[in-house]
Structure 1
Amino acid sequence: MSSTFSRLVVGLALLVNLFVMLALVGCKPAAELPVRGPTEVGVTTLAVQSQTVTSELPGRTKAWLTAEIRPQVGGIVQKRLFTEGAEVKAGEVLYVIDPATYQAAFDKARASTAEAKAALNSARLKATRYAELVKVDAISQQDNEDAQASLQSNQAAYQAAQASEKSARIDLTYTRITSPIAGRVESSSVTPGALVTASQDSSLTTVQQLDPLYVDITQSSAEVLRLKREFAAGRLSKASDNEAKIVLRLEDGSQYKHAGRLQFSAASVSQSTGSVVLRAVVPNPDGLLLPGMYVRAVLEEAVDEQALLVPQRAVTRGHSGSSSVLLVVGGKVEQREVVLGRSVGNQWWVESGLAAGDQVIIEGGQKVSSGDSVSVVAAGSPVTAIPLTND
């Protein structure tokens, strides 16, 4: 009995001590949690800069000169003297038409000219002699007048014979069909032995001069009006007083290494497409460009001396399509909507909403909200550890 009682007393004593310790722990003041300081964000400070206004427009290449080769006299093709796809020179003979009948016609015309010349010489001598005889009344006035009229008739006959000879010579020359321009000749539509006719509808072949090349570019009339308004308002200035420079992007996305120049702009708008045609001239010394190729022409149109560019990663898009950026204003975060124009590399061209000197957050923006206090560092600087302070 006494041992059991002793154990109970010891147990009660331990229980009391436990309650006392718990009470003491509950009464101890709680440790204050550390307070985080302002979040550090990376910013870029906007500054105005000169920026060239460019437009990337669709276009098609077109040969500088194109000559469709057609016969000017009819006959049988005797020879084809060119290699299809080769370069030919201006005046180079491409085809030969059987010249036999034209040679005969020329020989006949030449003989007629000689005959008319002989008759003219005889009539001239007679007219000269009669003009002297009539002075001494050796012949009648009528005979002299007849001799003078015969001279004039023979002069006209001689001139007609000369014209016929020249025409026959031209026809004979046309039996050798030459290229009027230098360039690359395409495939032939006829072979030796084919019968051709003068000024036929179908061409024998085509010669195209490919260096330089034209590029016909289309630009919407709305864009033309916008640029004119910008020029009139003084917000833009012309990129050059001379012809504008263009750079081509090819169908595979590569950039063509030879820059071109804008030659002229059409004076009317297409009623079917609502666009204006611009024509540019592009060097093609390597023969890389061919007529009919689709290209994108980057055209330098104007210069904005007060352009503002903001990094694309600083811009967020809302569900409604609006764009906004986070700024640091007075040490606090502010969200502001902006109107953006075209992209320039990895930046957006700002049309409105921002000004020079604004600090735009481009690093750490996901950790802050509008109204938060922040400390700023230049974007790209190493981020330091955020200090913990106790209040």
Structure 2
Amino acid sequence: MNNFITETTHRLGESNAPILRNELFKLFINKNTKFIQLTITEYFDYQVHLIPGAECCLSGLEIFYYNSKIDPNVLVGLAKICKSIKKIEINFDSYENTDSHGIFKLIEVQKNLNEFYLTDAFNRLEPFYKYLEESLIKHADTIQYLKIDWSPNTRFLSYFVNLVYLEIEKSFFIKKYNPNNLKNILLPILKILKINRVPLIATVNLIESTTGNLSEISIHCDKALRDVGCKMLIQAIYQNCPNIRYLKLSFDIKLLIPEFKNLLINCQFLIGLIIHVRNDYNFRWNKLFQILAKSSPISLFKFKFYSKEFKLKDLKLFFDNWKNRRAMLLKIIYPSFKVDQQLVSLIEQYKAKGIIENYIFSIIDCGDDYENFKWI
């Protein structure tokens, strides 16, 4: 709406902007209309709560998205009339100073906050996140879905025993990360865990805090792992997550075949596996394919591989050894605009044999392109 008003006022004159904006808002916000979802984009500064009928219109709001570059008074005003929001999603896409009072006020007044997601392209100052953690703790009993884009300043996650979904992403700008803030916490019903650039020890601590209910794990390590680090991570997964169904591992590694074999043996409900080796020049894909063909549980049939170093003979051996198993769904993220036609031909041969049910090549991982490649 802001863009529409801006374009229109260029034609009608700036003096008419307030009148035009007031009339447009009256069309949408009145006592005869009720919204359950609201998105506020950057540089929005209109005091919506002051519009006649706004309380009736917005008091039942359940989903709220907003950009950090808005007038904080807008949030303060919304906090006066919107207390039933279940999902809040915030996007910090610049390093502009943020008046935090409105954010904290809006969070604190909610009665049944269930989902909170924050994406931060840049990292705020530490006091901001400390206060944010204190605000979120007040909703620890109701929040089940949580994404944090900062290094925890406290052990605040220990309060969130009802979490079902947890995503933690460490900003590139964070140099210090205290793994003890993620140690010895309890996440008894957590099902989905996504970790991006969080240090190894903190990642292992998180996995060990679960009680066997994790069904999906996605781990993107912050730097190359030594063998001992890789071993520790894989052990933590198969020792604590026997019911895992979907697993994504993304890092620079020389895969520890014995430990990966133990993972496959101990995780008998695994359905989908994603392996992303960012620098796979010396990666032993042949060893991985051998262990997959030999030790995969019968449930495993979905594969997604990121690579530019596949050898046809390794894939051929993998497919040959997969016969008499459930036909696989295969997705290859291939960082080249021109896919090797020999590779395509090889896969087509095994699709004709029924060893591969379906496959897809993609230059980048833009999600699951077809219905039968969806992971969940």
What range describes the TM-score normalised by the shorter chain of this pair?
Answer: under 0.3
In our comparison, the structure showing a higher alpha carbon Rg is 1
Give the strand-richer structure, 1 or 2.
1
TM-score (ref. length: structure 2): 0.16
TM-score (ref. length: structure 1): 0.16
Larger RCO (alpha carbons 8 Å, 6+ apart): 1
